[in-house]
Amino acid sequence: MKWFTETDISVADDPELLELLALSNCAQILIGFESAVPDSLTGIDAHDWKRRQFDKYLQKIELIQSHGISVNGCFILGLDSDDISVFETTKQYVLDSSLSEVQITVLTPFPGTDLYRQLQRSGRLLKDKYWDQCTLFDVTYKPAKMSASDLECGFRSLMTDIYTDAAVKLRKSKFKECRRERKKMIQQRRPM
């Protein structure tokens, strides 16, 4: 049986756990990287943990995938420090990271959340009621450093670029190579 889970990048810091995940047929780990822009990570979590981990992300992705476990990297576009450069930066990061899977979403202030109340207080919600647009792909607020239209267009363009057949095939082939290397390594360790 193959299975998947969600965690953070710290799973790469535990060699024994990674080995056990691989041996248990863990097929994929979903990790919320949140942003490909280090400054956008400031203030996103308690004590800026993700910001402090950023410089090690690429190395840790490679380490996890070297165990034959696919990493599904998740990114949010439209954070307050994001400007229109975030689209190209994210695209390049996805290419550089060798992530086998990628999930891109738009910041979504779900009604009733702190983010919703914060954007409502600052007059940045496009409308007060929009449950039908809480899809993670619709823009429902005015971004801080670009227009809502810039966010929509940039998001669509990025999605088009990273989900082309060729881009997906390249990510899959890189991961398959990681799995082949893992199998070779395991076979070399087995006593004859």
Q: Residues 99, 20, 8, 137: is their CA dihedral positive or negative?
A: positive
Residue 190's pLDDT is what? 64
Give the pTM: 0.90
Domains of the chain by range and CATH?
A: 3-106+148-183 (3.30.750)
What is the spatial distance between Cα 68 and Cα 160, in angstroms, rounded to a whole number? Answer: 27
Low-confidence ranges of the chain (pLDDT < 70): 186-187, 189-192
26 DSSP β-pair partners: 3
Residue 98's pLDDT is what? 84
At 100-152, the pLDDT tens digits run 899 999 999 999 999 999 999 999 999 988 999 999 999 999 999 999 999 99
